[in-house]
Copies of this chain bind each other. A is one copy, B any other.
Amino acid sequence: MKPVKIGLLGLGTVGTGVVRILEGHQEDLSSQVGSPIVIEKIAVKTLDKSRSIDVDPRKLTEDPWSVIRDPEIDVIVEVMGGVDQTKAYILEALERGKHIVTANKDLMALYGSEILAKAMEHQCDVFYEASVAGGIPIIRTLIEGFSSDRIMKIMGIVNGTTNYILSKMSQEGASYEDVLKEAQQLGYAESDPTSDVEGLDAARKMTILGTLGFRTNVELNDVHVRGISSVSREDILYAKRLGYEMKLLGIAERQDDEFSITVQPTMVKKTHPIAAVNGVYNAVYVHGEAVGETMFYGAGAGEMPTATSVVADLVAVVKNLKLGVNGLKAIVPYKPKKLKTDEQIAYKNFLLLHVDDKAGVLAQITQVFAEYEVSLESVVQSPNTNLDGAEIMIVTHNASKASMNKVLAHFESLDVIHRIKSVYRVEG
């Protein structure tokens, strides 16, 4: 049977994995799709570089356009990363009728709707399973597995670097700075870790999951983001003492047709399944109205897990090619976008306050909560031997973000409060 010809953009970690799987599983793949899948051309940064796999040097080019414009090529597999230039490649490839498989979360989070619209126009497939949570088939699950349900909440540990750092801090009582340094040495964190530790990477992935889960066009700007760089050893210690683990969670939730999406360090009750997800692993917890609680767990990054998702998408494209139905199953967000206001967003909060150690302080503080109608689940006061004064740990019941903002602003003006040391969302 006529082979299906692939153009590969990028031969870094994931690209190498894709080549390995296509070569190693050629027989299995052909049996499934009915014809061989052949890599026709590979665009690389520099031709003369030592690589961990053997590639026919005649297939390599430094010019991505020569891959995009090759009329022999049916499918473009984009694993080079980047946004603006890469978008130009993808759009032209679609105009030329080529199908796209991409692992590029940045591209899909920023320009997903434009790219999917272009794909529909040209009846092309665009699949991007590998863009979120590496080897976990969560995109497929949201599109197909839960097509019948109404998804109410998605909570994701979708960044391996920050989960590694928080897990280590929790398990070893180590400081943020020390673990970050270690993660950089192990290659789990970039030399400039900003995108990971400040939650931007997670926010991009949550944009994609939110769009699919709520079937509305979520944009990156809709996501409220807070990273983990201010999480202290002490915060994690207090969390554990109260029965929580600290996790950087992306949380997308809706009520009726309004939704909110945040990425923030969150104290998760230890009994919640996502609290036990440690190290570089990822997990996505999905609460559907009908299906209830589900969770999907696996490697979030790495050569082979990510390549597994890329090649699974490739298999889907090739099956569609055989059936002549490419570009006909795209998910078009059809719901108007309605963001929750700060009055509508509600969750539990943890606060750690450094206060005067004298009578009446607790009364003043609880009075402020009462004034803004925030009710409390627990209050624990303890002297702090390292500080003058005392410490108060508070866990609220569900409180609106608007009310909590008022409480915190009020606290700033209270003389008995030296410092608001920490504020975290609480889940589970």
Contact = CB atoms under 8 A, between A and B. Distances in A.
Given A145-B140, A148-B21, A323-B328, A290 B308 contact: yes
A364 B369 CA distance: 71
Contact of A297 (B31, B144, B295, B311): B295
A148 B29 contact: yes
Interface string A181-215: 00000000000000000000000000000000001
Contacts of A221: none
Nearest to A138: B145
A376 interface: no
A315 B148 contact: yes
Nearest to A315: B147
Contacts of A146: 137, 308, 312
A290 B150 contact: no
Contacts of A137: 141, 144-146
Task: Kindly state the interface size class of chain A when it binds its partner.
Answer: 35 or more
Contact of A294 (B135, B150, B291, B315): B135
A149 B290 CA distance: 31
Interface string A147-161: 111100000000000
19 contacts: A20-B290, A25-B148, A137-B144, A137-B145, A145-B309, A147-B311, A148-B307, A148-B312, A149-B308, A149-B312, A273-B276, A290-B304, A290-B307, A291-B298, A291-B299, A291-B308, A293-B298, A296-B297, A323-B325
A28 B294 contact: no
Interface of A: 17, 20-21, 25, 28-29, 31-32, 129, 135-137, 140-141, 144-150, 215, 273, 276, 288-299, 302, 304-305, 307-312, 314-316, 319, 323, 325, 328-329, 334
Contacts of A31: 215, 334
Given A31-B334, A32-B147, A305 B319 contact: no
B298 A292 contact: yes
Contacts of A294: 135-136, 296-299
A102 to B, nearest CB: 15
B135 A292 contact: yes
Contacts of A145: 129, 137, 140-141, 309, 312
